[in-house]
Structure 1
Amino acid sequence: MRPTRSRAALTALTCVTAGVVLLATAGPVAAHVGIDPRSAEAGSWARLTFRVPDERPDAATTKVEVVLPAGRPLASVSVRPVPGWTVRTEKRHLDQPLVDDGKKTGEAVSRIVWTGGRIGPGEFQEFDVSLGPLPEHGEQMVFKTLQTYDDGEVVRWIEQPAANGTEPEHPAPVLALTPAAGTDADEASATREPSGAASGEAGTDAPNVSAPVAASGGGDSADVTARVLGGAGAAAGLAGLLAAAATRRRAAKRSPGPRGW
C-alpha cells in the first residue's frame, strides 16, 4: 500500500506546486491609467476617479492630462484638490450653448492638467473629477490621457478597445453609459450612436495619435487569467491531498491488526 500512498502524495504536491508557480508568474504586470467607476447612468452626474500608476523603475510622473471628449461637451466640470499638485482646466467655445440649471453656457472644459506633484516608481495617485450632466444617448465616453515623466517621456493612453473586446497596448480610460432608470432597453439601444461617434475623437483637443508612444506592458486580462489558472492548480492540489488522506485511511482499515486482537 505504500507505493499507492506515495503516488497520491506526489500528485498532490505537483498540483500545489503548479498553482504556486502560476500565481507567482502572474504578476506583476504593467498597469495602466484606470477610471472608477467604469460605468454611469446616462443623463446623470458622476464622480470619476482617474488612477495613475508610475510604471518606470527610474522615473517619476510629474504631469497628467485628461482630455474630455470633444463630441460630448459637459456643462459642469469640477476637480478635487490633490495635495502637492496644481490643477488647471482648458475650455473651448461651443457652437451650440449648453443649459445647466436653466442657465446657458457657451463654453465647456476640454482638458484637465495636473502638474507640480510627483508619482514615484511603484506608486500611484488618484485624481477626482465631478462632472455632468452626462450625455443622455451614446454608449461610452473616452477620456484620452497623457502621462509625462520627469525624463521627458510621454505615454499616451489614447487607444480605444477593439470591436472584438481586445484591449489595446495603451488603452484610454472609458466610461460606459448605461440606460437611465425607467428607459426601455430597446428604445435606448436604437437611439445609441456608434461607439466611434460616442468617443468624441473629432476636434483639436484629442492628443496626437501618431506621436511616439512609450512601450508598456499588456492590460489586466493576462493577470486575471493567470490567477484563475493558479487558483485552479491550487484547488487541484488540495483535492490530491484529500485523496491521499483517504487512501491512507482505507489502507489502515484493510491492514490486519496484531495477533490475538
Structure 2
Amino acid sequence: MNVSRIAVAGGLALSSVALLSGPAFAHVSVQPQGEAAKGGYATVNVKVPNERDSASTVKVEVNFPADHPLASVMPQPVPGWKAVVTKSALAKPLELHGKKITQAVTKVTWTSDGAKIGAGQFQQFPLSLGQLPEDTDQLVLKAVQTYDNNEVVRWIEEPKEGAAEPQNPAPVLKLSAATGDHHGGAAAADDKAGHDDKAAHAEAADSTDTPARVLGVVGILVGVAGVAFGVLAGRRRSA
C-alpha cells in the first residue's frame, strides 16, 4: 500500500513539473531555412507558438539590433497577416555594394488580417535578411507577442552562454563563418548557369561535328577503295 502511494505521489510530482516546465519549450524562435553566414544573405523563419488555451495570438513584433543594422529585411506574404517594415535613420551610414545606406530596418510587425494563431498551434513568418554583419556570431531579435485578450508577452531576455535559459528568451539567429558568397548563393547559381551554358554549347558543337567527321572518314575509305579498284583493274588489263 505504501509503495502504491509513493508511486502515485511521484507521478503527480512529475506531472506538475512537466506542466510547469512546458511553456519554456514553446517560446518564439528564429530558425534559418539554410545557412546564415556572416556577410551574406539568408532566409529565416520566425516561429511563433501559441501558449494560451483560452486566447489566440493576433500580433507579433520582431525587433532588430541597432548595433548590427540590416539594410534589407523583406517579409514573405503570409495569408491572413499584414506585415509592416519599420526603418530608422542610422547614426553611421553603411556601405553596401558601393552605395551609402542611411536607413536600416528596426522592426517588422505582423498583425492579424483575418488569421489567428490558436491554442495548440504555431505560425511561421519567413524573412529575407541581408547583408548580415561580419563582426558578430549572432543576432538577438527581441520579439513581442500579443493575444486577443490584450495580454502581451515580451520575448526580450538575452540568453547567456553557460547560464540557465531565461523565462522569456529572445530569439537568437546564429551566424556561421563567411562562405565567400555574399549573395546567398546567387553568384554561385549564376556561375553554375554559365558553366552549364558553356557545356551545352560544347555538346551542341560536338554533336554537330560528329556527322561531319563520320562523312569525312567514309569519304576517305571510298577514295581508298576506288584507288585500289583502279590498280587492280589496270593489272588485269596488263595481263
Question: Superposition pairs for residues 104-143 of structure 1, below 5 Å?
Answer: 104-116=100-112, 117-143=115-141
Shift of 1:26: 5.8
Matching residue within 41, 45, 49 for 2:41: 45
Shift of 1:175: 1.1
In structure 2, give the amino acid aligned to 1:114.
W
In structure 1, give the amino acid aligned to 2:22.
V
Q: Percent identity?
A: 49
Structure 1 pair 165–181 and aligned structure 2 pair: CA distance change class (3 A): farther
Equivalent-residue separation in structure 1 for 2:175 and 2:52 (angstroms)? 33
| Contact 1:75–1:105 (Cα < 8 Å) also in 2 | yes
Query: Partner of 2:146 in structure 1?
Result: 148
SS at match of 2:175: strand
Shift of 1:166: 1.9
Aligned residues: 163
Equivalent-residue separation in structure 2 for 1:172 and 1:32 (angstroms)? 9
Equivalent-residue separation in structure 1 for 2:48 and 2:179 (angstroms)? 32
The alignment status of 1:61 with 2:57, answered yes or no, reads yes
Equivalent-residue separation in structure 2 for 1:37 and 1:77 (angstroms)? 14
Q: Which has the higher helix share?
A: 2
Matching residue within 29, 46, 59 for 1:34: 29
Greater length-normalized contact order (CA 8 Å, ≥ 6 residues apart): 1
Equivalent-residue separation in structure 2 for 1:36 and 1:176 (angstroms)? 9
Structure 1, unaligned runs of 5 or more:
1-21, 183-261
| Contact 1:75–1:99 (Cα < 8 Å) also in 2 | no
Post-superposition Cα deviations, 1:221-253, rounded to whole Å, max 9, x if no partner, equal: xxxxxxxxxxxxxxxxxxxxxxxxxxxxxxxxx
Post-superposition Cα deviations, 1:113-168, rounded to whole Å, max 9, x if no partner, equal: 00023111111110001011110111211000000001111000011112314211
Equivalent-residue separation in structure 2 for 1:125 and 1:163 (angstroms)? 28
- TM superposition score normalised by structure 1: 0.57
SS at match of 1:29: helix
Structure 2, unaligned runs of 5 or more:
1-13, 181-239
Query: Partner of 1:172 in structure 2?
Result: 170
Shift of 1:41: 1.5
When Rg is computed on C-alpha atoms for both structures, the one with the higher figure is 2
Matching residue within 71, 75, 86 for 2:82: 86
* Cα RMSD (Å): 2.6
